[in-house]
């Protein structure tokens, strides 16, 4: 019998309006007074200035402050090796690239990492992984879960709407990921961590209770995405948050000349996979209708041929990872759904 080891989860969690201006207070309370800040390149003003003011008002020492241009492994290692010895915390502010680099640098340095996402485009800000590129290919590498998570809901609400809808797309994929996990149990005997699965599945239902992008809705979305990351850390696997829909998205990353936002690809794939699984399709479709997700994607549809190819390629992305795509030959079914389903035919079109 397998027993769960002690799980690292964020110790400091603040999800509220105005949290950005209190980062310095939170760090001072934790005794973290010599910080390295890694921010997204081109992060809009006044967000960096607000963070700097917050740190300086608490008389914290900003040992170094760098802009992250790319999420390359070489950059992460270079940043780690040049990190001043007196640093006792790493703060990442901005979007995915900066947060992934900051998380990995903190992991290498064995320092507390404080994540300050300025948008909610996916669950990566709290996951036990960093998405980095190695030799031009995206890889998910093990990393420590953030020690602290500070989410200013007003800042995230003002982010481009496409980023928030991407977060919603990533969130609904937990429905299909958990279902794939249970399919794997029945077919291969792969054990399911029931609490991790419940945590991930429940997070989606929490947001479904108020699927509106006001302050309360943003708080629910942020908390739900955080719980997804915690569920992965809890069971030591990406299973609670990543299934066949993520495999399809990874295949699209390879096939599309310019891949779309991760959560946009994953969200559409999750709806397609839910039809193959025969569960949760109506819930996903209704949420996408309510939030405007379908309208966003329909304004710039995906090419049909590449989606057909992505489904064919998906199963080879992660050999031995059992999903609904492993359960049967789904290709004729997928081709039919892409043209006959009223939602999919809007967002995936033949050229």
List the chain domain ranges. 12-156, 161-349
pLDDT digits (tens, 9 = 90+) for 303-342: 999 999 999 999 999 999 999 999 999 999 999 999 999 9
Of the candidate CATH numbers 1.10.3720.10, 3.30.2010.10, 1.20.1090.10, 2.40.160.50, the domain formed by 161-349 belongs to: 1.20.1090.10
The residues pairing with 39 across neighbouring beta strands, listed in sequence order, are 67, 93
Residues of 136-174 as b/e, b for ≥16 C-beta within 10 angstroms?
eeeebeebbbbbbbbbbbebbbebeebbbbbbbbbbbbb
The mean pLDDT value of the chain amounts to 94
| pLDDT at 30 > cutoff 50 | yes
Domain 12-156 has CATH 3.40.50.1970: yes
Q: Which residues contact 45 (CB under 8 A, 6 or more apart)?
A: none
Q: Which residues contact 226 (CB under 8 A, 6 or more apart)?
A: 10, 13, 15, 123, 125, 126, 149, 151
Q: Which residues contact 52 (CB under 8 A, 6 or more apart)?
A: 37, 62, 65
| pLDDT at 5 > cutoff 60 | no
How much is the average pLDDT of 39-48?
95
pLDDT digits (tens, 9 = 90+) for 79-100: 999 999 999 999 999 998 999 9
Q: Which residues contact 202 (CB under 8 A, 6 or more apart)?
A: 227
How much is the average pLDDT of 135-147?
87
How much is the average pLDDT of 201-228?
94
pLDDT digits (tens, 9 = 90+) for 247-268: 999 999 999 999 999 999 999 9
Closest Cα to residue 138, out of 77, 191, 97, 89?
Answer: 97
Which range, of 82-91, 115-124, 229-238, averages the lowest pLDDT? 229-238
Phi, psi of 62 (to 5 degrees): -85, 100
The strand pair at 113-117 and 148-152 is best described as parallel
- Residue 143 near residue 241 (C-beta atoms within 8 A): no
| pLDDT at 9 > cutoff 90 | no
């Amino acid at each position: 019998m397998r027993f769960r080891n002690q799980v690292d989860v964020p110790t400091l969690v603040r999800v509220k309006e105005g949290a950005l201006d209190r980062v310095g207070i939170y760090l001072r309370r934790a005794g973290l007074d010599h910080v390295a800040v890694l921010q997204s390149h081109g992060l809009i003003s006044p967000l960096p200035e607000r963070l700097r003011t917050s740190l300086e008002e608490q008389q914290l020492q900003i040992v170094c402050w760098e802009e992250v241009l790319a999420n390359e492994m070489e950059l992460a290692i270079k940043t780690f090796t040049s990190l001043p010895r007196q640093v006792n915390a790493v703060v990442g502010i901005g979007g995915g690239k900066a947060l992934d680099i900051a998380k990995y640098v903190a992991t290498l340095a064995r320092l507390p990492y404080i994540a300050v996402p300025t948008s909610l485009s996916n669950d990566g800000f709290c996951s036990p992984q960093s998405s980095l590129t190695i030799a031009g290919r995206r890889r998910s590498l093990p990393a420590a879960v953030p020690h602290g998570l500070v989410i200013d809901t007003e800042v995230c609400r003002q982010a481009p709407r496409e980023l928030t809808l991407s977060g919603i797309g990533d969130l609904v994929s937990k429905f299909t990921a958990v279902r794939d996990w249970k399919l794997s149990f029945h077919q291969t005997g792969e054990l399911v961590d029931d609490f991790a699965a419940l945590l991930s599945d429940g997070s989606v239902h929490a947001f479904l209770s108020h699927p509106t992008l006001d302050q309360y809705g943003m708080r629910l979305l942020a908390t739900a995405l955080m719980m997804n990351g915690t569920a992965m850390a809890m069971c030591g696997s990406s299973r609670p948050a990543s299934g066949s829909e993520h495999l399809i998205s990874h295949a699209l990353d390879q096939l599309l000349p310019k891949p779309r936002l991760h959560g946009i690809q994953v969200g559409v794939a999750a709806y397609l996979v839910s039809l193959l699984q025969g569960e949760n399709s109506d819930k996903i479709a209704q949420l996408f209708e309510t939030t405007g997700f379908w309208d966003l994607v329909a304004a710039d549809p995906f090419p049909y041929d590449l989606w057909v190819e992505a489904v064919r390629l998906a199963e080879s992305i992660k050999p031995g990872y059992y999903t609904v795509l492993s359960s049967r030959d789904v290709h004729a079914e997928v081709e039919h759904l892409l043209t006959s389903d009223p939602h999919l035919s809007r967002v995936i079109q033949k050229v």
